[in-house]
Structure 1
Amino acid sequence: MPENNNKQQAVPDDSPNSGDSVPSAEKRARTSMAASVPSVQTLGINQWYLSDEFMDAFCKAFTNTGLEDPMFSIKQEQNDGEGIIVSSPFHTGKLRSIFPKKFLHGLKNELSELNWHERLNDLYWFHQTDDLALNGRQHIKALRDYLSGEEFVGFMERITGTELARGYLDLAAQRYKKGNHLLCHDDDVHRGKLTRKIAYIIYLVDEGWSDSDGGALGLFDSDKNRYPTEVVSRILPEFNSIGFFLTGMVSYHTVEEVTVSKHDQERWSVTGWFYGPATSDNTSSDDNGIPPLPSSVLPQVLLLDESPLASEDQTEWAKWINTDYLSQAIQCQIQATFLEQSSVELRDFLRPEVYTSLVSSLGEPFWDQAQLRGPAHLRRYLEAEPASDCSVVNQLSTFFKSASFGRLLAALTSLDFVSASQQIRKFKHGHYTLIHDQAIEPAGLDAVLSIQNEDPEGGDASSSEWDETWGGAIHYIADKDELLRVSPEKNSLSLVLRDEGTLRFVKYLNHMAPRERQDISMVFIEKPSSDDGEDASE
């Protein structure tokens, strides 16, 4: 993905090393072809792929921007070779039976003996080896030497019609376990005279891997603004195959969640990039040629409604809020905790009858008119507007946007608020938010009311604790350090003071979650201090 997009960079298919500069790539990826390992020195690809017949036919199709066939295929039955091109949304190649199977089994055995690191952030969750550039194990070294050697680099140049640099290669291995995933991103990273040109994925999954096991490479279509919309093509992982595509400004893709039934089943792969000279096709002086995200991706901040009056606060608060939180002594205790920790969780926040009515009102009919929020490289969730009626949703929403509620928050936090944003959200399986440089939320007090629906079969699913392996928690980070994690909880209001150096995201809600996440998410903005001068009054 472009460096100015998500804080966390990602790979063609899996690796988080995408933020590396070309100088570090040079240091990492410069390979020596001098010493071959005798036992695997004859490593090569299926010889049919090196024939003029195949390379000419494949290149003609791959470089044909008007290719009408949604899936071009050229086969050679004798060696089980098949070259496939998925034409939409961008040309993506796949070569089946690419390497000797015995070699790949040996490679996988060597990889299994390495140290694996769990990679987890807003964008991805998987396990990865260290960089393989200097690994001296026989099969790993043989693969690295061959991929960076003239035969294979020249082959990739010829079948894609793309000029590549010699001596530059990224290489790492990934394991995706149950629930692991990599969300929507592109691999467009360039610096100086070199840029990533081709992303590749060598699949090492079990030979019986099926569509129901998940982990497909999903390819996103883009709208007129070049923002990703939805997955329109999928490439299933297949043992002994290699997938590849040209990186660029619209090469948005995802590794779909692994949904294996057995916990010991894993999606293995070796991935990386080939580099090439930066050209006008893949660089631009105007932020990669992609327009800034519209202001609508952030909720609108409005002044708090002055009605009801401060003299009516106690009566208004008592209509909605658990009476325990209206005691001055309790408020002082909460304030002390908040001042010490910059966060506090208020369980059973709404009156029981109010919460029960709210849950009932937020059934499926309420969400029928909700909008699916995107673009996909930033967020995926449903957002609904309260109806203009006397329903509890509308009344509670109005109360939360009032100066009266702001004064209650002031009693709990010692902060003075003048404006706020509000969203009524629903996160279903596959929904998330991502951190994006062009969509940084204003600093303020996050006030999120968590709402748990009843189990569809009639049981109270909200009675059991939320398992963090399901995703769906709000993560707060500063730089690369996680500061706080807030999981959904029945009728709980979390208050978190977020300064300009703190960012947050809702982790991808995976298929293991037995229920959805619903909330009313608000950000309250403090009254500008008088020290800010004229700017504070604007």
Structure 2
Amino acid sequence: MVSGEPEKKRVAQPADGDHGFVETKKARHETAEFDARACFRPGLFDTVDELTQQFSSSQPYRHAFIEKFCDEELLRGVRSEMLTRLHFTLKETDILKYHQSGDLANLDGLPEEEKRQLPHLQKLRDAIYSQEFRDFVSTVTGCGPLSGSRTDMSTNRYKQGDHLLLHDDVIGDRRVSYIIYLPDPEINDGASWHAADGGHLELYPRESDASWAPAVNPTKRIAPQWNQIVFFTVLPGQSHHSVEEVAGLGKERLSIQGWFHFPQPGEPGYATNQMQKLWAHGEVSTLSQIEAKAQRSAVQSGDAFAPYSSPVDDITELSDSDRTVLQKYMNADYLGNEIMAQVANKFADDSSIQLAHFLNSAIASPLAELLARIDEHDGMMGSHIPPHGTGERNQWHAVGSPVVRRYMRLNAPATANTPESTGPTDDGAVTDTEDEASRLLAAVQEELFDSGAFARWLNRITTLALTARRGMVRRFRSGLDYTLGTPDGSTGVMLDATLALAASQEKWADGVIGGYQCYVDGGDGDEASNDGSVYRHTEEDGILLTTPAAWNTLNLVMREPSVVKFIKYVSAASPGSRWDVAFEYKVQDDDDDD
């Protein structure tokens, strides 16, 4: 059985306006000789009124960006030191993939020889956290005083395929997030990023005025242009953002990101109730805990399970009527007694099995052709980032919340917000193709996976007594969709049956382009951090099982309640969408009476 160890393991939430796993450090002491204003472009501090207006009127939540904000020579020196003096390590979990350096907040703690190699970085850090610039940011944002004793910054390199999914930066006493962009200034004066290259900062509105959850699609994208800073106030339930996958060939998104914090005890402006004011009511953690639980509850509830009239158990032979139902869709090999016995033995040993060529050719062949046409129409077979909203039409709609998931679902209600831009507009050209594909997929869902005959076949090969089922047909679009490792609220053992339909399966095999299904130890699944996040359990020793996306392959996995699963973000470099039919079957507890 896929199960986890009883001890809960935690991985800290990545925390970026672009992000790194960093601890805040006590800042350097400013000296009387340091001229912070000289580190910024001339006249920057005279733009307060203009920027304040930009900030107050911005959508979907308050933010501002400043072009050419820093002294050019200083920033070029910073970029050179980042590329030649800093070491970057690949970080990858369910929510992110990027290359991160060490903590820049602790430069003062380095040996003198190492500090002498990073003069521009140290100078920029001191300028950013200087009294002058903190007052400037405080005035523009209206956020009140900011700490000068607490610095919090790191550097990231997003190479092709790197990304960071939706989060809100609400951790501890962070007050303002900022990102400084340092792409190659020699390419088109550092303004070479285009929409299809990805790498944009994406800002998400609230789902509605009555909800603190983010909408399915972002409504603002900011390109990472040279010598540009973006900043926004960190607000619970509002400052949701993500970093789009870098898709452009040869593109690299280099940035410094960090946070200004509330004043610390003893600093001007410190107030004992400053965090309570931020959260608006109750204890500091109250709202975040409520929101975290509400978001998880929305995912956990999902569709209701449809019970069988009695537990499906002790099936030793399939009836002729069962075989008639199953043969319409399944490869006949899997209905032979000898093969079923081999599958049963394998499943008994491993608690999981992958069955290739699962659908018969009469179903699989036309599906392959139809799904390929749809992906080609929607631009899912290239290397560029498709616009949000791509493929949302007819019977297919995107579902969220993107805090934990985003994918297309067949026959889902149209609840997604209208994104800033949408995909191909000539949807009429693909309507007939999509209608036929949808009809076939719905038939596989309703006439096969949802049938009593299929439940009896499952019992025959797993010996698990099944009591109820639920399921759906999904499409994970390249460059857009994913699920995160979040507890689903189950209290008993589940049998997961997922039919993966991803073309060119050899390209998915190594997992580099994502789309794989991963099972990890989720501990007791009953805790959320005070910032409203759900911990991501994806360190190497917590991974229990990974199954790559493949064509026409049924993945069967017996899952304990402590185990969580996710579908890794599907890269824009994938050869198409990951389509699947995903079902969960409740397993009768051994202590239950029939």
**2:400 aligns to what?**
374
After superposition, what is the alpha-carbon deviation per residue over 1:264-297, rounded to whole angstroms, capped at 9, x for unaligned? x310000011111414233544433748236476
**1:72 aligns to what?**
none
Pick the structure with more strand per residue. 1
**1:107 equivalenced with 2:78 (yes/no):** yes
Q: Distance in 1 between matches of 2:161 and 2:239?
A: 24
**2:246 aligns to what?**
258
Q: Does the aligned pair in 2 maintain the 1:200–1:273 contact within 8 Å?
A: yes
Q: Distance in 2 between matches of 1:138 and 1:366?
A: 50
After superposition, what is the alpha-carbon deviation per residue over 1:61-115, rounded to whole angstroms, capped at 9, x for unaligned? 53x4xx3xxxxxxxxxxxxxxxxxxx11112111222222222222222222322
Correspondent of 1:44 among 39, 45, 56: 39
Q: Distance in 1 between matches of 2:280 and 2:334?
A: 56
Correspondent of 2:193 among 210, 230, 245: 210
Alignment of 1:498-513 (within 5 A): 498-513=559-574
Q: Distance in 1 between matches of 2:16 and 2:50?
A: 25
Q: Distance in 2 between matches of 1:462 and 1:144?
A: 47
After superposition, what is the alpha-carbon deviation per residue over 1:149-172, rounded to whole angstroms, capped at 9, x for unaligned? 323223322322222123112111
Q: Does the aligned pair in 1 maintain the 2:201–2:244 contact within 8 Å?
A: yes
**SS of structure 2 residue aligned to 1:269:** strand
Amino acid at match of 1:498: R
Q: Does the aligned pair in 1 maintain the 2:20–2:154 contact within 8 Å?
A: no
**1:496 aligns to what?**
557
Q: Does the aligned pair in 2 maintain the 1:179–1:510 contact within 8 Å?
A: yes
**1:521 equivalenced with 2:521 (yes/no):** no
After superposition, what is the alpha-carbon deviation per residue over 1:414-446, rounded to whole angstroms, capped at 9, x for unaligned? 322111111111112233233365755665121
Q: Does the aligned pair in 2 maintain the 1:379–1:431 contact within 8 Å?
A: no
Q: Distance in 2 between matches of 1:492 and 1:156?
A: 54
After superposition, what is the alpha-carbon deviation per residue over 1:192-217, rounded to whole angstroms, capped at 9, x for unaligned? xxx11100001111223322432111
Q: Does the aligned pair in 2 maintain the 1:125–1:182 contact within 8 Å?
A: yes
Change in Cα spacing, 1:304 to 1:8, as seen in structure 2 (3 Å) is farther
How big is the shift at 1:235?
A: 1.6
After superposition, what is the alpha-carbon deviation per residue over 1:383-405, rounded to whole angstroms, capped at 9, x for unaligned? 11499xx9654443232123332
Correspondent of 1:132 among 90, 99, 104: 104
**2:52 aligns to what?**
59
Change in Cα spacing, 1:392 to 1:233, as seen in structure 2 (3 Å) is closer
Q: Distance in 2 between matches of 1:134 and 1:36?
A: 21
**1:287 aligns to what?**
287
Amino acid at match of 1:419: A
Q: Does the aligned pair in 1 maintain the 2:505–2:550 contact within 8 Å?
A: yes
Which has the higher mean CA deviation after the structures are superposed, 128-137 or 344-353? 128-137
**1:31 aligns to what?**
27
How big is the shift at 1:57?
A: 4.5
Q: Distance in 2 between matches of 1:31 and 1:271?
A: 16
Q: Distance in 2 between matches of 1:441 and 1:14?
A: 33
Q: Does the aligned pair in 1 maintain the 2:508–2:548 contact within 8 Å?
A: no
**1:239 aligns to what?**
226
Change in Cα spacing, 1:345 to 1:172, as seen in structure 2 (3 Å) is same
**1:222 equivalenced with 2:206 (yes/no):** yes
**SS of structure 1 residue aligned to 2:218:** strand
Q: Distance in 2 between matches of 1:366 and 1:236?
A: 24
**1:123 equivalenced with 2:95 (yes/no):** yes
**1:422 equivalenced with 2:471 (yes/no):** yes
Taking only the aligned residue pairs, the percentage that are identical comes to 26
**1:342 equivalenced with 2:338 (yes/no):** no
**SS of structure 1 residue aligned to 2:238:** coil
**SS of structure 2 residue aligned to 1:89:** coil
How big is the shift at 1:524?
A: 1.4
Q: Does the aligned pair in 1 maintain the 2:51–2:64 contact within 8 Å?
A: no
CA RMSD of aligned residues (A): 3.5
**1:196 aligns to what?**
174
Structure 2 unpaired stretches of 5+: 1-9, 108-114, 263-273, 375-390, 413-434, 522-536
**SS of structure 2 residue aligned to 1:320:** coil
Q: Distance in 2 between matches of 1:166 and 1:255?
A: 28
TM-score normalized by the length of structure 2: 0.73
Change in Cα spacing, 1:131 to 1:335, as seen in structure 2 (3 Å) is farther
**SS of structure 1 residue aligned to 2:106:** coil
Q: Does the aligned pair in 2 maintain the 1:305–1:402 contact within 8 Å?
A: no
Q: Does the aligned pair in 2 maintain the 1:361–1:393 contact within 8 Å?
A: no
Q: Does the aligned pair in 2 maintain the 1:447–1:493 contact within 8 Å?
A: yes
Q: Does the aligned pair in 1 maintain the 2:100–2:157 contact within 8 Å?
A: yes
Amino acid at match of 2:67: R
Q: Distance in 2 between matches of 1:437 and 1:36?
A: 50
Correspondent of 1:384 among 385, 403, 410: 410
Amino acid at match of 1:352: S
Structure 1 unpaired stretches of 5+: 1-5, 68-86, 454-460
Change in Cα spacing, 1:156 to 1:336, as seen in structure 2 (3 Å) is same
Correspondent of 2:258 among 272, 279, 282: 272
Q: Does the aligned pair in 2 maintain the 1:305–1:401 contact within 8 Å?
A: no
Q: Distance in 2 between matches of 1:244 and 1:511?
A: 27
Aligned residues: 482
Q: Does the aligned pair in 2 maintain the 1:216–1:236 contact within 8 Å?
A: yes
Q: Does the aligned pair in 2 maintain the 1:361–1:392 contact within 8 Å?
A: no
Q: Does the aligned pair in 1 maintain the 2:27–2:148 contact within 8 Å?
A: no
Q: Does the aligned pair in 1 maintain the 2:485–2:566 contact within 8 Å?
A: no
**SS of structure 2 residue aligned to 1:130:** strand
**1:299 equivalenced with 2:303 (yes/no):** yes
Q: Distance in 1 between matches of 2:253 and 2:441?
A: 43
Amino acid at match of 2:96: Y
Which has the higher mean CA deviation after the structures are superposed, 281-290 or 347-356? 281-290
**SS of structure 2 residue aligned to 1:491:** strand
Alignment of 1:448-463 (within 5 A): 448-452=498-502, 461=504
Q: Does the aligned pair in 1 maintain the 2:485–2:565 contact within 8 Å?
A: no
Which has the higher mean CA deviation after the structures are superposed, 172-181 or 399-408? 399-408
How big is the shift at 1:322?
A: 2.3
Change in Cα spacing, 1:99 to 1:392, as seen in structure 2 (3 Å) is closer
Q: Does the aligned pair in 2 maintain the 1:477–1:502 contact within 8 Å?
A: yes
Q: Distance in 1 between matches of 2:333 and 2:157?
A: 49
Q: Distance in 2 between matches of 1:37 and 1:508?
A: 49
Q: Does the aligned pair in 2 maintain the 1:406–1:418 contact within 8 Å?
A: no
How big is the shift at 1:187?
A: 1.2
**SS of structure 2 residue aligned to 1:493:** strand
Q: Distance in 2 between matches of 1:465 and 1:434?
A: 17
Q: Does the aligned pair in 1 maintain the 2:74–2:124 contact within 8 Å?
A: no
Amino acid at match of 1:396: V
**SS of structure 2 residue aligned to 1:129:** strand
Amino acid at match of 1:446: D
TM-score normalized by the length of structure 1: 0.80
Which has the higher mean CA deviation after the structures are superposed, 286-295 or 165-174? 286-295
**1:473 aligns to what?**
516
Change in Cα spacing, 1:169 to 1:366, as seen in structure 2 (3 Å) is closer
Q: Does the aligned pair in 2 maintain the 1:201–1:243 contact within 8 Å?
A: yes
Change in Cα spacing, 1:315 to 1:231, as seen in structure 2 (3 Å) is closer
**1:146 aligns to what?**
127
